[in-house]
Chains A and B, each alone.
Chain A
């Protein structure tokens, strides 16, 4: 079970809440103070992307954020429920080009910010997994 799990309806106004919760848990986990801005931004980007995907695909399910405090690292997973978004996008691409572009820009920011990041696309949806080192206890 994750240390903290957050489910929120795919509305832009809740992304800020996710950022605040993630930063608070990261701070508690011992993530370096200087990296907290990165955590905040990366989680915001991942959640914005998930919200955009849910909305443009008419998915009513909530976006899921899992915050895990391990011995040596603090990891975050942001999961959407839009299947197979790896590349090429959905067949109805075109109408939502702008949203797709923003999602891609978000991914670019995440990969620029976070050293340890993994994007997993599955049949049930996508997951962005990121982690930051924490001091050994």
Chain B
């Protein structure tokens, strides 16, 4: 399965809905999407990963890169994920401390630091 991406806005947040597999082949597409959003002035991103079947370190790298970009504009990047197998990758790499991870898009949209 390939990567699917769609975006929508809720208030000042931009929701990026990701589906499929994020790996060394597809991660560049996600990177492009995040870069484009930031270049267009969207600095508060919520990446909804509920439809993601697979995530590897290349995908983690892209998310970290996205976080770095939004932070340069005092923005935020929040993740929505309930899948244990995906959460596990964030845990073993220590990235649960870096990304706010929410259980629903509503929760992520409502969150303020």
Q: Using a CB–CB distance below 8 Å, which chain A residues touch chain B?
A: 12-13, 15-16, 19, 37, 40-41, 44-45, 48, 51-52, 101-102, 105-106, 108-109, 112-113
Contacts and interface: CB of A to CB of B under 8 A. Distances in A.
Contact of B25 (A15, A37, A40, A109): A15
A73 B111 CA distance: 46
Given A40-B54, A105-B93, A113-B92, A15 B61 contact: no
B57 interface: yes
Nearest to A110: B57
B89 interface: yes
A45 B93 contact: no
A57 B69 CA distance: 29
A109 B89 contact: yes
Main secondary structure of the interface of A (DSSP, over half): helix
B26 to A, nearest CB: 8
B57 A13 contact: no
B48 interface: no
A112 B54 CA distance: 17
A78 B24 CA distance: 16
A109 B56 contact: yes
Contacts of A16: 21, 23, 25
B35 interface: no
B93 A48 contact: no
Interface string B30-71: 000000000000000000000000101110110000000000
B85 interface: yes
Contacts of B23: 12, 15-16, 19, 44, 48
Contacts of B93: 105, 108-109, 112
B58 A102 contact: yes
Contact of A109 (B21, B24, B57, B85): B57
